[in-house]
Structure 1
């Protein structure tokens, strides 16, 4: 049964169908399908290793699939004004949860990043990123359109607040992603050249400071620079999986890396893809991520609403950067960082938060005309 709407259909769904980017929806659905396939391939072995039922992670992941798709499509129905309102409320809730994380959050591997709500584990930082991107875009756009509006000052304050809360966990990687979103949006909104130079000079200083202040950052950088001098087991095992998989892989279910790699279903799920399905599937995944980002940016070429340009770019930077960090860590192109591969790695918080982010991208890049175009 196919969905068909006439071009003269003025219903909510009819207008949505002819204004939303259906190619981006198709690419995102393919990513979700690949994620479901790889979760079924990778997680049973991990479940058995920690002595839980084989399909424990599969069932938990599939529970979030339908809500994630519903959230993404539901949010895509919103107008830019409604996206802003949702982002403001969402950021306030996310900040409140980030305040609670160091106080009552569960400690895992020396960090507190999770809250348990109604029996579910929630990672507030995953939700803070997309809401932060939209609210900061609103502040920068407001400052550009009205020089008397203190949008830049508010945006700087929001960066300091959210980044400070993330560093308390500590989560340096998510803080870096947040800072990158902020910097890209500020640059597009007209960052002064002197500040561009200053931030360029400050970046390596901040990187050295993070290395000195956070032992887990120091450990990961040291292992990256000298794999033989530390425990680089997961990355070395992942690289072996890629070599073993070759071009077309050893076949579904035939991989060995998932039997020994602790994070085979989360941070290193691309290694499972490389071993069982080969370079071919990995290139498809890379192409899908690139398509979503480039397609979203292409939709902005004729956009004259500064808020829409900034918010969409910030959301796409988050999406693309997170994918690049995960894949680069797996391939030992950068120090290891526990960051999920969007829509593919196991994780309910990540799945729903990314669905929110891409739903907002779909909403902001819809073709707008007439009264709908004025509702921004």
Structure 2
């Protein structure tokens, strides 16, 4: 019985950089990202027109066109980053980190303010949120720094990594952006844990994190209000969470049908933070289970690939990057299900948002670069 390949096979003698990239790239993760991007485009058709009407745009498909362009940009960034080897991934992340950090400083002075937060830089009709780029860059840079302890045990690598994290955290809290601060902190702790977290640092993180959470809850009224929405919602205005719950309950098992959702017209941020609720209403429980399964598949596949890497830098940084990606999805879904306080986080590759799309493309692209070959081949020292 003969077998004929449907596509030309790559000869083993072909060692070109493109062939090497094709052989070692995790196409399962790429397929998951593409599925999420297509779901995002579909949901922009569902939620975009009502959002355009509510905001006052003349073109009902304003957000649909922009979502398509942003999806192309996010996908391109992901693929371009995946071409990098581990040395150049670290170099690119270092440059992105310091540029983004500088932009975050500028934001505090001349940044655009919206909903009580000053997080964006606006120019030529576009806005950018530097914190979306600084997160993956910081995690990869810290992963490299922490791995240097294996080569140079006497160096202050952990202290340098912690200082970079502390400066970034401080700038985030000054915006303020408590949700992204918590996300970054958790990813940083996972990165530290994978690198071999000393016992004394466990106490530092536990005490410091608990004290910071206590002070933020008591010092920032909007943090207290959002947390109380979950634990004591009766006296508070929980309009968004109530509408999200209404949308999810109306969807039932198979939804009310594409474009037939009613709650999205009355739900603020339906095309961004609460796109999950819109999907639940129009496509039902089955659809959101499939969506969550895609995120779960990508998280499990990513963490398994990270665990197989022998290179300490790549293993540590990849684990932190996949934590950023998967935890942001979990937080967004948790907010829509009213089990977590509203945070303003988007659903990766699905929600509308230019900075979020760029940040997620960068996060997953750098992670793909680090797990190329799924840790089966050594790439030498840490670059």
Which TM-score band (shorter chain)?
over 0.9
When residues 374 and 207 of structure 1 are mapped into structure 2, their CA distance, relative to the original with a 3 A threshold, is: closer
Deviations 1:19-65 (A, max 9, x none): 11111111111011111111111111011112112111111111122
SS across alignment from 1:121 = strand
Deviations 1:101-150 (A, max 9, x none): 11111110111000013431000110010001101111111123211222
Report what 2:187 is aligned to.
181
Report what 2:151 is aligned to.
145
Q: Determine whether 1:365 maps to 2:375.
A: no
**CA separation in 2, counterparts of 1:151 and 1:279?**
47
Report what 1:15 is aligned to.
20
Deviations 1:144-174 (A, max 9, x none): 3211222111111101111111111011111
Give the alignment partner of residue 226 of structure 1, picking from 232, 249, 252: 232
Contact 1:7 1:14 survives alignment (8 Å):
no
Report what 1:75 is aligned to.
81
Deviations 1:166-221 (A, max 9, x none): 11101111111111121111122222223213422443322111101211101111
Task: Give the superposition deviation at 1:251.
Answer: 0.5
Over the residues paired in the alignment, what is the CA RMSD in angstroms? 1.8
Task: Give the superposition deviation at 1:375.
Answer: 7.8
Report what 1:38 is aligned to.
43
Q: Determine whether 1:59 maps to 2:65.
A: yes
Task: Give the superposition deviation at 1:342.
Answer: 0.3
Structure-to-structure mapping, 1:328-343, within 5 angstroms: 328-343=334-349
Q: Determine whether 1:29 maps to 2:18.
A: no
SS across alignment from 1:113 = strand
**CA separation in 2, counterparts of 1:2 and 1:357?**
31
Segments of structure 2 that go 5 or more residues without pairing to the other structure are 1-5
**CA separation in 2, counterparts of 1:85 and 1:300?**
20
Report what 1:206 is aligned to.
212
Task: Give the superposition deviation at 1:373.
Answer: 5.5
**CA separation in 2, counterparts of 1:253 and 1:175?**
35
**CA separation in 2, counterparts of 1:325 and 1:305?**
30
Deviations 1:271-304 (A, max 9, x none): 0000000011111111111111110111133311
Query: Taking structure 1 as the reference length, what is the TM-score of the superposition?
Result: 0.96
Report what 1:292 is aligned to.
298
Q: Determine whether 1:252 maps to 2:258.
A: yes
When residues 104 and 192 of structure 1 are mapped into structure 2, their CA distance, relative to the original with a 3 A threshold, is: same
Q: Determine whether 1:86 maps to 2:87.
A: no
Contact 2:311 2:381 survives alignment (8 Å):
no
Task: Give the superposition deviation at 1:91.
Answer: 0.2
Deviates more, 1:117-126 or 1:265-274: 117-126
Deviations 1:326-346 (A, max 9, x none): 110110111111100000000
Contact 1:144 1:189 survives alignment (8 Å):
no
Segments of structure 1 that go 5 or more residues without pairing to the other structure are none
SS across alignment from 2:234 = helix
Deviations 1:68-119 (A, max 9, x none): 2111111111100000000000001000100011111111011100001343
Query: Taking structure 2 as the reference length, what is the TM-score of the superposition?
Result: 0.94
When residues 151 and 224 of structure 1 are mapped into structure 2, their CA distance, relative to the original with a 3 A threshold, is: same
Corresponding pairs, count: 376
Q: Determine whether 1:129 maps to 2:135.
A: yes
**CA separation in 1, counterparts of 2:287 and 2:376?**
39
Contact 2:311 2:382 survives alignment (8 Å):
no
**CA separation in 2, counterparts of 1:129 and 1:333?**
25
Contact 1:114 1:122 survives alignment (8 Å):
yes
Task: Give the superposition deviation at 1:267.
Answer: 0.4
When residues 15 and 310 of structure 1 are mapped into structure 2, their CA distance, relative to the original with a 3 A threshold, is: same
Deviates more, 1:52-61 or 1:342-351: 52-61
